[in-house]
Structure 1
Amino acid sequence: MNTVDERTPCAREMRPHAAAFVTRVTADHRLPMDYSVASLRIVDFLIDGLRKGGASRERVRVREALSGLGAYVGEVLVRRAGAVWVDFDADQRAYFGQPVGVRMPDGRVWNPLGKVHNRFDLGGPEESLRTFYLTLHGRARKAAA
């Protein structure tokens, strides 16, 4: 189960948080993190690598990586599916275990940070972030640039 992390940026800080993460990852590893739907396969790959390495979510570097990956996944939803970052209210925070998420054009609320944590904790193809996007309800009909 995810828990709210006080260090997680608020909704207005998520876009720069994702951008800073992408800058670090692409500089260190030259990964094509271009906010495309296809790049979500890289997110799956990175999380699987953390899992296979036996990393614990409690390690600072792992928490930072998962936070950055969650921000990145959310930003893909913002840029490609017409979502907007939102701060969760108290009930949503309790339900999702995260302080922020995204609201889709149809009003549905999703938790990309939690989805990243699920991929890390549970693994497996059913937790794929790319599949999450492709089966996501509430996307805009035309992808935002």
Structure 2
Amino acid sequence: MSYKNAEIDCPWCGEAVVLDGTICPDCRHEVLPEHLKQQESGDVEDDVDDVDALAAESAEPPDPWTEVENPEAYLLSKFICRGCGGSEASAEEVAMTGTGLSKIMDLQHNHYLFVSCLNCGLVDVYDPDVLLRRASGTTSNILDLFF
């Protein structure tokens, strides 16, 4: 049976449509002859459920850093030392000057988080700007200008 230029019921959206090639013009899903054969036999609902399940599985997990207000506390709560496997650590934010004019004016615009394992002393350095996807320490940069 040919489905070209014939009005069919789309197995995805249920609308009566004339296909644009193999694409439903309403829902933009691809409609293949096997989908229409399954529709005639009543198996389409199972495929729709499978597609929804696959879409849910393939969705990217939420970014844990979007909700974080205090990166130090978050790092400490998730810390596992890559050297010894310990889970106890201390974290400290450190501000540093750069080169050139910021060094002369003592503007400490580079901020880093140093996380130290309390068991073996291994230190990991994190850039909070990268973790939080926004600039950190802007208030302290402004205060550096005055004090």
Instruction: Specify the TM-score bucket, using the shorter chain as the normaliser.
Output: under 0.3
> Which structure has greater strand proportion?
2
* TM-score, normalised with respect to structure 2: 0.23
* TM-score, normalised with respect to structure 1: 0.23
> Which structure has greater helix proportion?
1
Which one has the largest radius of gyration? 2
